[in-house]
Amino acid sequence: MSALGGGSAGGEGINPAASVIALVIVLASVGIAYVVYPAALIPLIGVIVGGVLISFGVHFVPVGGAPAAMGQAPGIATGVAMLAAGGGLAGLFGGAWAAEMGIWVALGAGAMGGGLLMAITCLMVNVVYVYAMGIPAASGKVDKDPITGDTYEGYRSQGTEGHGLPFISYVGGVIGGILAGAGGTLIYLELLSVYQEALPSFLGMTPEGMQTLAVSLAGIFAVGMFLVAAVLTAYNITGTIEGPHDPKFKRWPRAVIGSSAACAACGLVAILLVVI
Amino acid sequence: MEEILFGIGISALAGALATVAGAAEDTESDIGSQGDPNSQVQLAPQMGYVHRIYNKAISGEPPAYGLWVALAAGIAWALMAIQYNAILALIIGSAVAVFVQGVYATTAYLGRTASLAKFEQPVYIDILKSVTTVTMAHAFVAVFTTVTMCFLIIEALGHPFPLPLMGLVWGIALGAAGSATGNPFYGKERQYQNYPFGAGLPISASGDIVRYAEAGQRSSLDNGWFTSKGAGPASGICFGLIVFFELWRTILFEPFAAGWGAVIAGAVIIIVFMVIDRMVETWARKTYGPYTTAEAVTEEEATA
Amino acid sequence: MTVKIEASEGGMDHNVMLGIGLVGALVCIYLVYLNTLMSTEVFAFFGGLAAIIALWWGTDSIKNLCSYGLGTGVPSAGMIALGSGVVAMLFATKLAGISPLLVPVGCVVVAAILGAILGFISDKVLNMNIPVMTRMIAELTVVGSLTTLGFTAMVAGTFSFGDLITGATSVFGVEIASYASSVIGGCVLATIFMLGAIAIQHPFNACLGPNESWDRTQMCAIECGALSMIVIAIMSLAFLSLPAVVISFVISIILWGWSYSELIKLSKRDAFAWLDSQPIREVGGEQ
């Protein structure tokens, strides 16, 4: 993302006490929503699931950070949170467009929007590596591709940890885009349903006038929460990851716990907006 | 039918605008040296290589372009709200956004370079004057085409997002596509031009960027000259394809199967790209072959 | 190969900066309320000043946080701050239904709670184990929410939800109330969001390095805030009367011009050399 990699501070393992507290935050948020505004219970759960999808999805996205830009490490040469945001927000675009077709279609459209961005971006990354720089793809973390069975031992150039996007990373990128796109869309749709339902009665508006208001509110909240969940996940994987075969991938449970608590808190505030 | 044809036409136009935007975005970021390859520009003086390359450390390209495009869209929206002509509003919005971009670029260069005084890296004022204006010009092309594309998607295709939110979404997507595609080409092929072609840069060589040109000293403008022949068009194709397929699949296939048509079309397109990627990957493995032959590896193992 | 992040020593104590930032930003936002009291719009620019003061404080928080090395770039900290800050800020504007005077204080309280939760998650649940993390993320969320609240107050001249969702469009000279042409309905917030997200991380991101100095980084923060004020003033054309816009614009231009020239002076002071059209000075003497 920038010139900084810094020392990676993230330790391994799960902190049980903190995780329990995070789950308590989730339950407390759901409880408050149920007491204050029962109709918002399902949407809040949707928002939490959306946050979980985003944070789980970001783990799949192969991000190499600064070393990838010099062909020193495999992955896409940009920041993890921002790449996922690109995919997720493109998904949000597709999902919001299909919102009136029903939640499942909209979720599918959002997922495909995110997946499409990642599929094309990852393809062009490999095209540039192969045709413009003459470098074949090689993973640094595994010697054998779990999907295709390609071996990478001879394909790492000297003094590097691999380069390009091996097929497993490509598939990871697409899965990550699909999950992040679906997650962002889910947050948007759930908040949109809350606002569409509540704004006319709470504020005494005409339904036609407030459609654009509900879209704007849900949109900006979805973007904000998306970035919160994506950055928390970026902190969890300390910047770079190769994809689902990377050992760092195993850290996903704590990011999922953290993001669900973060989205529960933010989602509760976003929903309480209509109550007071 | 006519409506669908109109929609396809708008998709094609939006895709074309996005292609221009992607190419201009990557060239702009390479001239200014933004994003991940900038780590080497930052690192070089610490390794004793004082250089005359721009150091535009604003942030990664996705957030930076998120701001420029959202800003252009916000100002265009505000001007349209007070009944300005839409095209004039888009142009004024982009111009103001590019002014902000230029100011951010100068503060980034001054800030980063002044903070490198310990390594005796001077601030070259002539770089500031000559390169900033060129990055601003490229940024204008990228921002104006993207914000026009957003405007088309809203006005002609009826997307529910307001213009500033649409600008934020596509600005971040533009930066993500452009940085992902363009960064390795600038980072490896241009900054480390004197290292062997067809191999990644050894980690031990980091910081030893090329600082001299065929004649005289390398200027950041030469980097734009170089990357506009490879990474720029590739980024353009990348972002153009993303926008075009995203719109095309929705417009053409959404009427089928209660909306599922567009989802299925998206899945099919993804699988097609996946197959193409696999072909590219195997082509490279077959054509270039491994860096070390199998015998050499076994010999090494035998000696070890 | 990464660059070590070094934060400058010296400068003002962070707790003092927190106090100045919090109180200053709150006072400036409350001054925007003069608009409602005196039924005018000319005090909108105080919102921008509030945002500058908040950014000035947030720059030091981000410096404290990022000097530990997060494993990812400085900009991500700005994103998480604004992402949660905008949620808290929108919620707080709704408190105007109870009393408009509750909005700025409510904004700080809600943002602090949200930020503390996020900081706790990153520090403990994600095992980052950075001692200042909980506090700094909480501060950054407050800064993010105050920045968006300040800019929103500047663009609209008010900070109560009811006013932010109603705008007026004139069709053939006739004013028609419409939600779509309001600050929230038009999602000008998206622009404000990005302006804040870049402005909060840029000063430290741009000035980091071994010779980073406190006053230069802080001047850069003021410059970023003033630059954002200029464009916010242009956007307020859609919501405010012309005199109010002109006042905002002139104040932001003066502030930006002053801070930019000061920043250049400070960069000149800190730079190793200030050269115009000179060749590369070889340090190692290889060539």
Q: Are strands C174-178 and C167-171 parallel, antiparallel or unpaired?
A: antiparallel
Q: Can you tell me the mean pLDDT for B91-99?
A: 95
CB contact under 8 A, A270 and C193: no
Q: Calculate the average pLDDT of chain B.
A: 90
DSSP tag of C170: E
3-state class (DSSP) for residue B123: strand
pLDDT tens for residues A220-247?
A: 999 999 999 998 888 888 878 888 888 8
Which residue type occupies B120? Answer: E
So what's the pLDDT on residue C35?
Answer: 87
Band (C267; pLDDT cuts 50, 70, 90):
very high
- B226 at the A interface (CB within 8 A)? no
- B178 at the C interface (CB within 8 A)? no
Size of interface B-C (CB pairs under 8 A): 223
**How many angstroms separate the CA of residue A185 from the nearest CA in chain C?**
16
CB contact under 8 A, B168 and C186: no
- C282 at the B interface (CB within 8 A)? yes
Residues of A in contact with C189 (CB under 8 A): 216, 220
Q: Determine the Cα–Cα distance for residues B68 and C190; give it in Å rounded to an integer.
A: 12
Question: Per the structure block, which two tokens stand in for A70?
Answer: 């010099």
pLDDT tens for residues B199-234?
A: 888 888 888 899 888 888 888 898 999 999 989 999
- C204 at the B interface (CB within 8 A)? no
So what's the pLDDT on residue C2?
Answer: 43
So what's the pLDDT on residue A146?
Answer: 87
The chains found to touch C (3+ Cβ pairs under 8 angstroms) are A, B
- C87 at the B interface (CB within 8 A)? no
Q: Can you tell me the mean pLDDT for C186-211?
A: 90
Flag whether A144 is in a domain: no
Q: Can you tell me the mean pLDDT for B54-83?
A: 91
Q: Are strands C274-275 and C174-178 parallel, antiparallel or unpaired?
A: unpaired
Q: Is pLDDT at B241 greater than 90 in this prediction?
A: yes
- B246 at the A interface (CB within 8 A)? yes
Residue A175: how many CA atoms within 13 Å on its side-chain side? 14
pLDDT tens for residues A81-131?
A: 788 888 888 889 988 888 888 899 999 999 999 999 999 999 999 999 999
Q: Are C175 and C141 in contact (CB under 8 A)?
A: no
So what's the pLDDT on residue A207?
Answer: 66
| CA torsion through residues A141, A142, A148, A152, sign | positive
| CA torsion through residues C146, C150, C151, C152, sign | positive
Q: Can you tell me the mean pLDDT for C109-124?
A: 91
Chain B residue with Cα closest to A125: B181
Closest CA to A96 of A258, A273, A214, A235: A214
Question: Per the structure block, which two tokens stand in for A191?
Answer: 């908040």
Q: Residue A265 is part of which domain span? A: 53-126+166-272
3-state class (DSSP) for residue B124: strand
Band (A4; pLDDT cuts 50, 70, 90):
very low
Flag whether A5 is in a domain: no
pLDDT tens for residues A126-168?
A: 999 999 999 999 888 888 888 888 888 888 888 888 888 999 9
Band (C169; pLDDT cuts 50, 70, 90):
low
SS (H, E, C) chain A: CCCCCCCCCCCCCCCHHHHHHHHHHHHHHHHHHHHHCHHHHHHHHHHHHHHHHHHHHHCCCCECHHHHHCCCCCCECCCHHHHHHHHHHHHHHHHHHCHHHCHHHHHHHHHHHHHHHHHHHHHHHHHHHHHHCCCCCECCCCCECCCCCCECHHHCCCCCCCECCCHHHHHHHHHHHHHHHHHHHHHHHHHHHHHHHHHHHHHCCCHHHHHHHHHHHHHHHHHHHHHHHHHHHHHHCCCCECCCCCHHHHHHHHHHHHHHHHHHHHHHHHHHCCCC
Flag whether A10 is in a domain: no
Name residues 79-108 of chain A within 8 A of B (Cβ): 79, 82-83, 85-87, 89-90, 92-94, 96-99, 101-102, 105, 108
CB contact under 8 A, C190 and B43: no
So what's the pLDDT on residue C178?
Answer: 74
- C124 at the A interface (CB within 8 A)? yes
Residue with structure tokens 């040296």?
B33
Q: Is pLDDT at B140 greater than 90 in this prediction?
A: yes
Q: Can you tell me the mean pLDDT for B272-287?
A: 93
**How many angstroms separate the CA of residue A236 from the nearest CA in chain C?**
6
Q: Spell out the residues 6+ positions from residue A164 whose beta carbon is closer than 8 angstroms to its own.
A: A71, A74, A125, A126, A129, A130, A135, A136, A137, A138, B281
Band (B253; pLDDT cuts 50, 70, 90):
confident
Number of compact structural domains in chain A: 1
Looking at the DSSP bridge assignments, the partners of residue C275 are B124
Percent of chain B predicted with pLDDT > 90: 59
CB contact under 8 A, A78 and B259: no
3-state class (DSSP) for residue C281: coil
Residues of C in contact with B108 (CB under 8 A): 202, 205-206
Of A7, A72, A276, the CB nearest to C94: A276
Q: Is pLDDT at A6 greater than 50 in this prediction?
A: no
Q: Determine the Cα–Cα distance for residues C285 and C149; give it in Å rounded to an integer.
A: 54
- C66 at the A interface (CB within 8 A)? yes
Assembly ipTM: 0.92
Q: Are A72 and A163 in contact (CB under 8 A)?
A: yes
| CA torsion through residues A214, A216, A221, A222, sign | positive
CB contact under 8 A, A211 and B293: no
Q: Calculate the average pLDDT of chain A.
A: 86
Q: Spell out the residues 6+ positions from residue A160 whose beta carbon is closer than 8 angstroms to its own.
A: A71, A72, A73, A140, B199, B200, B201, B202, B203
Q: Can you tell me the mean pLDDT for C86-111?
A: 90
Q: Determine the Cα–Cα distance for residues C149 and C107; give it in Å rounded to an integer.
A: 8
So what's the pLDDT on residue C219?
Answer: 93
So what's the pLDDT on residue C199?
Answer: 93
So what's the pLDDT on residue A236?
Answer: 87
CB contact under 8 A, C87 and A221: yes
Q: Calculate the average pLDDT of chain C.
A: 86
Band (C176; pLDDT cuts 50, 70, 90):
low
Of B188, B202, B238, the CB nearest to A158: B202
- A69 at the B interface (CB within 8 A)? yes
Q: Can you tell me the mean pLDDT for C104-115?
A: 92
Q: Are A84 and A243 in contact (CB under 8 A)?
A: no
Q: Are C124 and A260 in contact (CB under 8 A)?
A: no
Q: Residue A138: phi, psi to the nearest 5?
A: -150, 135
- C194 at the A interface (CB within 8 A)? no
Cβ atoms within 10 A of the Cβ of B289, count? Answer: 12
Residue with structure tokens 């989205």?
A263
3-state class (DSSP) for residue C171: strand
CB contact under 8 A, A76 and B180: yes
* A208 or B184: which leads in pLDDT: B184
Q: Is pLDDT at B302 greater than 80 in this prediction?
A: no
Q: Is pLDDT at B300 greater than 80 in this prediction?
A: no
Closest CA to C209 of B241, A140, B108, B297: B108
CB contact under 8 A, C170 and B83: yes
Cβ atoms within 10 A of the Cβ of C118, count? Answer: 28
Q: Can you tell me the mean pLDDT for B13-40?
A: 92
Q: Determine the Cα–Cα distance for residues B60 and C198; give it in Å rounded to an integer.
A: 10
So what's the pLDDT on residue A5?
Answer: 40
Q: Are strands C274-275 and B123-124 parallel, antiparallel or unpaired?
A: parallel
So what's the pLDDT on residue A8?
Answer: 43
CB contact under 8 A, B281 and A133: no
Q: Determine the Cα–Cα distance for residues A172 and C10; give it in Å rounded to an integer.
A: 46
So what's the pLDDT on residue A147?
Answer: 87
